[in-house]
Amino acid sequence: MQLTILIAVLIVLTVLAFVYGRKRALVTVGGNRRALHSMPSYHGWFVALWCGLPAAILLVLWLVLRGTILDGFIEDALGPELAAAGPEMHGALLEDVRQLAAGNSIAREPSPALLAAADRYSSLQSSADAAVLVIGLVAAALGLGFAWRKVGPKLRARNNVEAVVRLVLFLCSVVAIVTTIGIVLSVLFEAIRFFGRVPFWEFLFGVQWSPQMAIREDQVGSSGAFGIIPLFTGTIYITLIALIIAMPIGLLSAIYMAEYASPKFRNAVKPILEILAGIPTVVYGFFAALTVGPAFRGFGDALGLSVSSESALAAGVVMGIMIIPFISSLTDDAIVAVPRSLREGAYALGATKSETVVNVIIPAALPGIVAAFLLAVSRAIGETMIVVMAAGLTANLTANPLDSMTTVTVQIVTLLVGDQEFDSPKTLAAFALGLVLFIATLVLNVVALHVSRKYRERYD
Amino acid sequence: MDREADVAEARIDQGESPFRANFALGENSSATPDAGAPQQIAVTAKDVSVFYGKKQALFSVNLNIERNRVTALIGPSGCGKSTFLRCINRMNDTIEGCRVTGEIKLDGTDIYGRGIDVVQLRARVGMVFQKPNPFPKSIYENVAYGPRIHGLAANGRELDDIVEQSLRRAGLFDEVSDRLNTPGTSLSGGQQQRLCIARAIAISPEVILMDEPCSALDPIATAKVEELIDELREHFTIAIVTHNMQQAARVSQYTAFFHLGNLVEFGPTEHIFTNPTEERTQDYITGRFG
Amino acid sequence: MTDTSAAIPAPARASPWQLSDATARRVRRRKRADTRFQLYGVGAIFIALAVLIVLLSSIAGSGIGGFVQTRFALDVTFDEKLIDPSGTRDRAVLAKADYGVVLMNAVSAAFPEVTDRQAKRDLRKLFSNSARFQLRGMVLDDPSIVGTTQKIWVPASSDADGFVKDGATTKGIAEADRRLKDRQIEWIGQLSERGAVEKRFNWSFFTSADSREPEVAGIGGALLGSFYTLLITLLVCFPIGVLAAIYLEEFAPKNRLTDLIEVNINNLAAVPSIVFGLLGLAVFIQTFGLPRSAPIVGGLTMALLILPTIIVATRAALKAVPPSIREAAYGVGASPIQVVAQHVVPLAMPGILTGTIIGMARALGETAPLLMIGMVAFIADLPGGPMDAATVLPVQIFLWADSPERGFEEKTAAGTIVLLVFLILMNAIAIYLRKRFEIRW
C-alpha cells in the first residue's frame, strides 16, 4: 500500500519537475532561449531525472531485497519452531508465514508460534514499507532541490541528460552479460551442491542412471545412481540420427534453392519451407508421438521387428525434420556469401553447375557449412520437447535405434517436473545435467562462431 | 598491322584440346597464311542486342574478332562493352532476366543456336575477370581444375606438365614453383590475376575474353599482365575490355569503341587512335567525355 | 553502325563442334552427373515439402473433430426433493446438492426400459460427467427452475462423442476391444432417432479452462496464460532489447567489454531453452520468491530467452539505415542521442517491429523452459492476472498429448491447430510489415 503511494507520488512529482524545470530554465534567462546552453526541455528532463531517479532506484532495490530481509527477521522469530521442523520444512514454514501474513489460509492448522511470526511479519513489512516511503520521498525532494538550484543558462542540461540516457542504454546491453552470469551461477551453484553428495567422477563416468532416491531409510531398490554415460549415449545417438536425416536434405535443398531454382520456384517454395522452421517443437513432439512413432512401430511389426513405441529412431527422425530448415538457412547464407566471381571463374572454364557447386562453391562455403553443422548439433542436443514426448524415460545403454533411449534434456524435465524438494540430490542432479548441457552447447557455439568468422574474413 | 602474321608459331605445346579440333595448327603449321593474306575470323557477332529485363543494354552490335589478334573494347562505363564480352562465352546466361538476341558465331557456328552446350563453348572461350578470382584451392589445383573437369590429361604427369606449361606461359611459374601447394588466395593481386590467366589457358581455349583484367592491379603488375597479353596473342585470340585507353593502344591490334550500348566504331587500333572516323570516338579518345 | 566487319570474309572450315568419341562420351557423362545432382536437390526439397504436408495434414485430420462437440438432449427434472428439500432456495444448499442423481434420473427417464444396474452404468457413461456442473450452474443462475422439467442439451462423454463423430471406426473391432459396447451404440441410435443428438461448433473449447474430462476441456485458460506471459515478455524484452541494440550499434566504443557483450549475445542465442528454464527456476522462483507457475515468471524467463533475437534483429535494422542519414543529422548539429532517437530509430522501426514479432512468435511456441518453472500444472480455473497460476498454449498441448484418455488426442491436435494459426498470423504480420515498410536505400 505504502509502496503504491510512493510510486504514484513519484510519478506526479517527476512530471511536475519536468514542467516546472522547463519553465524555470526560461525564467532564469528572461525568456531568451538563445542564452541557454541547452534547450528548455532538457532542463525539464534534468530536473525530472534528479527527482525521480534516485527514489526509483531505491524502490526497485527494496522490492528485490524485501523478501530476503524480512525472511531473516522471521527466521529469528521462528527459531525453535524451525529447528524442530528440520531443514526440509524450512521453506514450507516460511511460505506459510508469508501466506498467513497476507491473510490467506494455509493447508495445516497454524500453530501459535506461526501466527505470532505472521503478525510480526506483517507489522515488520508495513513499518519497513513506511520507512521506504519516507526515505523515497526525502530522496526525491533532495534531488529536486539540488536540480532546481542548478537550472540556469550555464547548466549543460543536454549533456547531463544524454549521459544518463547513455548509461541506461549501456545498462540494457549489460543485461545480456547478467543473464549469462545468472545462468552460470544458478546452474553452477546447485551443481556444486550436487557434487557434494555424488562424486564428480561417478557422475561423469557412471554407466547407471536411476535417480530415484530412498525417501525413507528402509525403502528397497532405490539407492539412486547418477551415471551420466547412458544419457550421453542416448543424446548423441538421437542427435546422430537427426543429423543423418537433416544434413543431406538441408544441404541439398539449400544448394538447389541457391543455384538451380528459378526465381519463381524459389519465391513459391522458400516461404513454404520456412513454415517448418516456425513450427514449435511441442508440435513436432506431438507429431512424433501421434504419427511417426506408431508408423514406425507398425512398419517394424510388418517386418517382424520389435520397435518400441518410444523409439530413438522416431525421435531422431522428427528432430532431423525440425533441423532441416535450420541447416538449410545457415547453408544458404554461406552459399550466398560465396562471391559471384568465383562462380563465374568456374563457369568460364566450362564447368557444369554441379561441378561448380561441388568443386568451388562448397569448398568456399565449407567453413559456413561446418558452422551450420556444429550449430545443428548444439540445437539437437539442447532440444527438449521432441525427446520428452517421443523418446523414452528409462536410461538404456543400447545401440539399437528401435529401442527407447533417454537424453540429458528428458532427464532434466523428469527430475524437475512435479513437486520436488529443492535440496534433494534428484533435483540438484537436474542442475548438474543443465551445467553439462550448457558447457557442451557453449563449446559448440564458440567453435562454430570462430570457424564462420574466420571464413567471413576471407572474402571481406 | 600485317606484320602480325606470324601465326605459324601458334602451336599448342601441351597437347591439343579436344575442343580445339581443326585449329589449323599442330602438324601442319606450315600451312599458315602468308603475310597479307586475309585474316581468319574467330568470332562474328551479328545484330547482337542484350536486354536486362526490360532495359536494353546493347543495340544491334556487329563485330568480327580476328584470330590471333588482340581486340580491345573501349568506351565509358555502362556503355555495354562488358555486356558484349560476356555474350561471347554466354556468361550472361548466369544472370537472371538477361536475354540476348542476334547471332554470335564461333568458327561459323551460332553459339546461341540450338544444341550448343555452354560447357563446351566455355571450354573454347576462356575468360579472365576484372577482379582476380582464384578458387579457394592451392595454386596447382587452380590451374589443374579446368584440365581435370574436361579430362585433358591422361595421367598425373601430363597434368603436371599442363600446369607447369600454363604457369610458365602466364609468366608465373618461376615465382611460384616452390609453393604450388599454397592457396591461390595467398598470392599478391598481380600474381593472382596471372594465376587466373594461367587457369584460363590451361584448357587451351581458342578465344580468351578479358574483362578489365588490370583494373584491380597496380602499375607494375599491370605492365606484367600487358606484356603477357602480347605474348599470348601468339596462341590465342584475345578480346579485352579496358577503361584505359593507353592500355588499349599498347596491347591491341583492333579497337572497338562502344557508347550507350552502340558500337560506334571498329577498326585497326592505330586508325582509331590517330584518325577516327566518328566524332564521338574522337571526343572520347581526346578525353572530352567518358 | 559501322560496317568494318563486312570486309573480312568468314573462314570456311569444318565445324569444330564435332568432338571425338571419347570427349563426347565425357561430356555426356558430365551432363548426366549434373542432371543427377539437380535431381538430388529436387528430391531433398520434395522430401521436406512432403514431410510438411504429412505433418500438417495429420494434425489437421485429428484436430478438426476437436472443434465440434456432440450433445444429447435430456428432459431434466429439477426435483425439489433432491435439490432443495427445505425449500429455502439458500445458495449454499443449492450449491451442495447432488446433481449427479438429478442427471441420472433424467437419463433413466429417457430410457425407462433399462433397469439392470450394469446397464444403467453403461448408459450413464454416454453422458459427460461435467453435465452435473452444468445443471448446478443453471440452478444457481436461476433458482426458479427448481421443481420444473427442462429440455437440456448436455455434452456427450468423450467415448460417445468419438462414436458420433466417426462411428465407422468401431466396425470390424470385437466388442470387448471397443470403447463403446453394442448396447451403448444402440442407445445412441435411439437418441438420434428422437432427434436428441446434435453436433455443433465447440465454442466452449476456446473459453473454458482445462479439465479432467476431455469432452469439456478447453484452451481458454491456456490462451489467457499465454497472453499474460507474452505481455510480460513484451514489456520487459522490447525496451531492454531495443535499447541494448541501440547502444551496441550506435554508441558502444570498440573495447573488450563491448566485444564480450557481443560474443555473449551470440552465445545466449544458442543456449538451449531448457537452460533458461533452470535459470528462471533458480533466480526468479528460488531467489526472488516469485510464485511458481505464474505467467510473470514465465514472461520474465521468455524475455531473457528472446532478448538475443530482438537485439540481433534491431541491430540489423539499425545497420540498414545508411550512414548518410546520420551524417546529415550531425551536419545540422544534432547530438548523437538526437541523431539516433529522431532519425535512425524511426527509420529502423519497421525492422525492429518485425524482429520483435518474430521473437514473440518464438516465445509463444516455446515450451521447455516453462516446464521448469512449474507452468505445467493442471489448472482448472482461468487465470485472473499475471501472478495467478496458469499454463500456456504449448504446455497445454504437451499436457494433453501426455494424457492417456483417447479423447484428449483430438483436443491436443485442435489446440495445436490454434497455436499454428496464431503463429502463422504473427509471421504473416511480420512479413507484411517488412514488405510494406521496406525501404531500399
Say which of C5, C15, C26 has its CB closest to residue B266.
C5
Chain C contact present for B39, CB below 8 A: yes
Q: How confident is the model at residue A39 (pLDDT cuts 50, 70, 90)?
A: confident
Q: How confident is the model at residue B195 (pLDDT cuts 50, 70, 90)?
A: very high
Question: Is a pLDDT exceeding 50 seen at residue B202?
Answer: yes
CB B236 within 8 A of CB B267: no
Q: Pick from A107, A122, A155: which residue ends a domain?
A: A155
CA distances from B181 to B141, B185, C40 (A): 8, 11, 33
Longest dimension (CA), chain B: 56
Question: Is a pLDDT exceeding 80 seen at residue B13?
Answer: no
* C19-31 CB burial, b ≥16 within 10 A, e <16: beeebeebbeebe
Question: Is a pLDDT exceeding 60 seen at residue C435?
Answer: yes
**Would you say domain B2-285 falls under CATH 3.40.50.300?**
yes
d(CA C100, CA C249): 66
Share of chain C above pLDDT 90, in %: 31
CB C433 within 8 A of CB C414: no
> Which amino acid is located at C422 in the chain?
F
Q: Is residue A396 part of a domain?
A: yes
CB B281 within 8 A of CB B272: yes
Chain C contact present for A384, CB below 8 A: yes
Domain boundaries, chain C: 67-201, 220-437
Contact call for A186 and C279, based on CB within 8 A: yes
What is the bridge-based pairing of β-strands C149-155 and C68-77? antiparallel
Contact call for A355 and B200, based on CB within 8 A: no
C-alpha cell at A415: 527430475
Question: Is a pLDDT exceeding 60 seen at residue A222?
Answer: no
CB C396 within 8 A of CB C236: no
Chain A contact present for C140, CB below 8 A: no
Beta bridge partners of A209: A226
Tell me which residues of chain C, numbers 256 to 315, contact chain A at a CB-CB cutoff of 8 Å. Answer: 258, 260-261, 263-268, 270-276, 278-279, 281-283, 286, 288-289, 304, 307-308, 311
| Residue ranges making up the domain that contains A426 | 225-459
Gyration radius of chain A's alpha carbons: 31
Q: Is residue A206 part of a domain?
A: no
Tell me which residues of chain A, numbers 247 to 276, contact chain B at a CB-CB cutoff of 8 Å. Answer: 263
CB B262 within 8 A of CB B61: yes
d(CA B9, CA B93): 34
- Residue that the C-alpha cell 556468361 belongs to: B91
Contact call for C44 and A253, based on CB within 8 A: yes
Q: C2-43: per-residue pLDDT in tens?
A: 443 333 333 333 445 667 778 888 888 999 999 999 999 999
Angle ∠(A372,A336,B86) on CA atoms, nearest 5: 155
Say which of C244, C376, C401 has its CB closest to residue A286.
C401
CB B134 within 8 A of CB B96: no
Nearest CA-CA distance, residue B149 and chain A, Å: 7
Contact call for C15 and B107, based on CB within 8 A: yes
Co-location of A232 and A105 in the same domain: no
C-alpha cell at B241: 575490355
CB B132 within 8 A of CB B184: no
pLDDT of B33 reads: 39
Chain C residues within 8 A (CB-CB) of chain B? 1-5, 8-20, 22-23, 26-27, 30-31
Contact call for A183 and C271, based on CB within 8 A: yes
Contact call for B91 and A351, based on CB within 8 A: no
Mean pLDDT of chain A: 84
d(CA A169, CA A175): 10
CA distances from A337 to A323, A452, A458, B216 (A): 21, 11, 11, 21
Question: Is a pLDDT exceeding 70 seen at residue A423?
Answer: no
Q: Pick from A155, A173, A205: which residue ends a domain?
A: A155
**Smallest CA–CA distance from C16 into chain B, residue:** B21
Question: Is a pLDDT exceeding 50 seen at residue B10?
Answer: no
User: What dihedral do alpha carbons B208, B214, B219, B222 form, nearest 10°?
Assistant: -10
d(CA C379, CA C209): 7
Q: Pick from A120, A155, A190: which residue ends a domain?
A: A155
Q: B126-159: per-residue pLDDT in tens?
A: 999 988 889 888 999 999 998 988 888 888 999 9
Q: How many residues does chain C have?
A: 441
CB B100 within 8 A of CB B112: yes
CA distances from A47 to A19, A275, B207, C34, C76 (A): 9, 51, 77, 72, 71
Q: How confident is the model at residue A326 (pLDDT cuts 50, 70, 90)?
A: very high
Contact call for B38 and C23, based on CB within 8 A: no
Say which of B120, B129, B136 has its CB closest to residue A350.
B120
CB-defined contacts A:C, below 8 A: 265
d(CA C299, CA C280): 10
Question: Is a pLDDT exceeding 80 seen at residue A87?
Answer: no
CA atoms within 13 A on the CB side of B287: 3
**Smallest CA–CA distance from B121 into chain A, residue:** A350
Question: Is a pLDDT exceeding 80 seen at residue C1?
Answer: no
Number of domains forming the structure of chain A: 2
C405 φ, ψ to 5°?
-60, 135
CB C91 within 8 A of CB C140: yes
Q: Is residue A430 part of a domain?
A: yes
Among A69, A51, A42, residue whose Cα is nearest residue A10: A51
Contact call for A182 and C283, based on CB within 8 A: yes
Chain A contact present for C367, CB below 8 A: yes
* C287-296 CB burial, b ≥16 within 10 A, e <16: eeebbebbbb
d(CA C416, CA C414): 5
* C240-276 CB burial, b ≥16 within 10 A, e <16: bbbbbbbbbbbbbeeeeebeebbbbbbbbbbbbbbbb
- Residue A369: its chain B contacts at CB < 8 A? none
Chain C contact present for B66, CB below 8 A: yes
Say which of C243, C307, C397 has its CB closest to residue A282.
C397
Gyration radius of chain B's alpha carbons: 19
d(CA C438, CA C433): 8
C-alpha cell at A376: 545443428
- Residue A341: its chain B contacts at CB < 8 A? 129, 131, 133
Contact call for A324 and C48, based on CB within 8 A: yes
Contact call for C27 and B119, based on CB within 8 A: yes
Q: Which helix H or strand E contains C252, and what residues bound it? A: none
For the ranges A7-16, A146-155, C266-275, the lowest mean pLDDT is seen at: A146-155
Say which of B120, B135, B203 has its CB closest to residue A342.
B135
Contact call for B122 and A349, based on CB within 8 A: yes
pLDDT of C112 reads: 84
Q: In what order do the strands lie in the sheet with B125-128?
A: B125-128, B207-211, B237-241, B70-74, B254-259, B262-268
Q: How confident is the model at residue C278 (pLDDT cuts 50, 70, 90)?
A: very high
Chain B contact present for A196, CB below 8 A: no
Domain boundaries, chain B: 2-285
Average pLDDT over residues B26-37: 38
Say which of B89, B120, B149 has its CB closest to residue A348.
B89
How is domain C220-437 classified at the architecture level of CATH? Orthogonal Bundle (1.10)
Q: Is residue A318 part of a domain?
A: yes
Co-location of A256 and A130 in the same domain: no
Reduced 3-state DSSP string for chain A: CHHHHHHHHHHHHHHHHHHHHHHHHHHHCCCCHHHCCCCHHHHHHHHHHHHHHHHHHHHHHHHHHHHHHHHHHHHHHCHHHHHHHCHHHHHHHHHHHHHHHCCCCCCCCCCHHHHHHHHHHHHHHHHHHHHHHHHHHHHHHHHHHHHHHHCCCCCCHHHHHHHHHHHHHHHHHHHHHHHHHHHHHHHHHHHHHHHHHCCHHHHHHCCCEECCCCCCCCCCCCCCEECCHHHHHHHHHHHHHHHHHHHHHHHHHHHHHHHHCCHHHHHHHHHHHHHHHHCCHHHHHHHHHHHHHHHHHHHHHHHCCCCCCCCHHHHHHHHHHHHHHHHHHHHHHHHHCCCHHHHHHHHHCCCCHHHHHHHHHHHHHHHHHHHHHHHHHHHHHHCCHHHHHHCCCCCCCCCCCCCCCCCHHHHHHHHHCCCCCCCCHHHHHHHHHHHHHHHHHHHHHHHHHHHHHHHHHHHC
pLDDT of B235 reads: 87
pLDDT of C166 reads: 73
Question: Is a pLDDT exceeding 80 seen at residue A458?
Answer: no
For the ranges A177-186, A211-220, C65-74, C315-324, the lowest mean pLDDT is seen at: A211-220
Q: In what order do the strands lie in the sheet with B109-110?
A: B55-66, B41-52, B98-106, B109-110
> What interface predicted TM-score (ipTM) does this complex get?
0.87
Co-location of A131 and A231 in the same domain: no
Q: A143-170: per-residue pLDDT in tens?
A: 888 888 888 887 888 888 889 999 999 9
Contact call for A290 and C401, based on CB within 8 A: yes
Say which of B24, B38, B62 has its CB closest to residue C1.
B62
Contact call for A349 and B135, based on CB within 8 A: no
Angle ∠(B247,B94,B209) on CA atoms, nearest 5: 25
pLDDT of B36 reads: 43
Write the CATH number for A368.
1.10.3720.10
Question: Is a pLDDT exceeding 90 seen at residue A89?
Answer: no
CB burial of residue A123 (10 Å; 0-12, 13-18, 19+) = exposed
d(CA B250, CA C317): 49
Q: How many residues does chain B have?
A: 290
Question: Is a pLDDT exceeding 60 seen at residue C257?
Answer: yes
Question: Is a pLDDT exceeding 60 seen at residue B31?
Answer: no
> Which amino acid is located at C135 in the chain?
L
Beta strands in chain B, from DSSP E residues, in sequence order? 41-52, 55-66, 70-74, 98-106, 109-110, 125-128, 207-211, 237-241, 254-259, 262-268
- Residue B126: its chain A contacts at CB < 8 A? 348-349
Average pLDDT over residues C296-312: 93
CA distances from A362 to A52, A353, A367, B151, C4 (A): 58, 12, 9, 21, 46
d(CA C436, CA B268): 55
More confident residue, C79 or A366: A366
Q: How confident is the model at residue B11 (pLDDT cuts 50, 70, 90)?
A: very low
